[in-house]
Amino acid sequence: MKKIITFGEILMRISPIGNKKMIQSNTLEYYFGGTEVNVAISLAQLGNDVKHVSVVSEDFIGHAAKSFLNQYGVDTSLVTNSGYPLGLYFLETGAVMRPSTISYNRSNSSFSMMDPNHINWNAALDVCDWFHWTGITPALSKQAYQSLKVALQTAKNKNIMVSADPAYRKDLWKYGAKPQEVLNELIELSDIFIGGPNEINELLNTNFKNNTTGFIEGSKHLLHTFPNLKKIFDKTRISTNANWHKIKSRMWDGANFFETEQLEITHIIDRIGTGDAYAAGLIHGLLHFNDKKALKFANAACALKHTIEGDANLVLEKEIELVMNGSLTGRINR
């Protein structure tokens, strides 16, 4: 089994049932997630050996968070405890033209407030095939950023493949760092870039269009800027409304462009974590298949996540392969 390490905040997601608003019901449901956790869980469900590195509260919430990851097959032996509470968010799920709304309570969390030296990255990455990070982590706090930087440097020294999902969300960057500087510094330590013209423009103040040409030109520009980067993988999403999306993926491997067919999700069950499902599918694909199949696998994984409740993609490899191979009618499997 391939050994993968992820690093990031474990977030509790709390939401009213269905499309209700908080004000309408005193019943809630919850999941544990967080972008890197979602990647970790999906990779574990796909059969990989995944270890997540994080900090949780030392109470029954932290205990439940670790148990949740264990349940889905993620090793939590490198998740430590602290006196700060676990980060969480509330979600009101929208529909059609009404957006879902999220309210975060994470600025004071056990992860954000971590001791940047809390983890011995040299030991943690001792036997590892892949390390995945996203731009959420360096946005949360200086400590989180510092710890991630050490992790990436260590990974580079150990020749571990590193995938970067820049995931720039400007509202998160509150501790004083300059997002572009920080993200670019971290991308320099990475091998695989997950993103397209939108992300490239944000990082490099460029102005590539979000079409095939823009993707290719932007990718070339990005690879030129960060010579360490080897390949670029992106998905595009056409949203009719909150319930109805179309997903298509594309890649630039430094020399060739390839794109998948489009998958249409007419009745979305849960929109959260679909990008993480894409990243997990991609990492799994790159570890086990060739690039083209990896891209198609990632695209199908992303589409399937829209049919799964909760943050993480719980589908199995064979389910993704069926969709990847064109089985789209959803006929009952008796």
- What 15-19 contacts at long range (C-beta under 8 Å, 24+ apart), as own/partner pairs, is 15/90, 15/91, 15/92, 15/93, 16/92, 16/93, 18/93, 19/93, 19/94, 19/95
Nearer to a copy of itself, 83 or 227 (CB): 83
Cα radius of gyration (the chain)? 19
Could you give the string, one character per residue 63-92, with x where binding to a copy of itself holds by CB under 8 A and - elsewhere?
Answer: xx--xx-xxxx-----------xx-x-x-x
Closest distance between a copy of itself and the C-beta of residue 286, in Å? 23
Closest distance between a copy of itself and the C-beta of residue 71, in Å? 3
Closest distance between a copy of itself and the C-beta of residue 282, in Å? 19
Contact between 152 and 133 under an 8 Å Cβ cutoff? The reply is yes
- Per CB under 8 A, contacts with a copy of itself among 130-149 are none
Closest listed residue to residue 111, CA positions, set 75, 83, 153: 83
Tell me the window of 57-65, 192-200, 203-211, 226-234 that interacts with a copy of itself (CB under 8 A).
57-65
- Cα 6 to chain centroid distance, Å, stands at 10
Closest distance between a copy of itself and the C-beta of residue 57, in Å? 7
Dist CA 14 CA 234 (whole Å): 29
DSSP-assigned letter for residue 171 = G
Regarding 96 and contact with a copy of itself (CB under 8 A), the answer is yes
Dist CA 279 CA 273 (whole Å): 10
Regarding 198 and contact with a copy of itself (CB under 8 A), the answer is no
- Per CB under 8 A, contacts with a copy of itself among 103-132 are 103-105, 107-108
Closest listed residue to residue 69, CA positions, set 149, 6, 161, 145: 6
- Per CB under 8 A, contacts with a copy of itself among 290-319 are 303-304, 306-310, 314-315, 319
How many CA atoms lie less than 13 Å away from 24 in the CB half-sphere? 9
Binding residue count for a copy of itself, defined by CB under 8 A: 81
Nearer to a copy of itself, 169 or 209 (CB): 169
Contact between 294 and 285 under an 8 Å Cβ cutoff? The reply is yes
- In this chain, which of 2, 47, 49, 61 binds a copy of itself, going by CB under 8 A? 61
Regarding 23 and contact with a copy of itself (CB under 8 A), the answer is yes
- In this chain, which of 1, 59, 123, 126 binds a copy of itself, going by CB under 8 A? 59
- In this chain, which of 1, 29, 213, 256 binds a copy of itself, going by CB under 8 A? 29
Closest listed residue to residue 303, CA positions, set 326, 334, 331: 326
Phi first, then psi: what are they for 116, rounded to 5°?
-60, -15
Nearer to a copy of itself, 272 or 298 (CB): 272
- Per CB under 8 A, contacts with a copy of itself among 206-235 are none
Nearer to a copy of itself, 152 or 300 (CB): 300
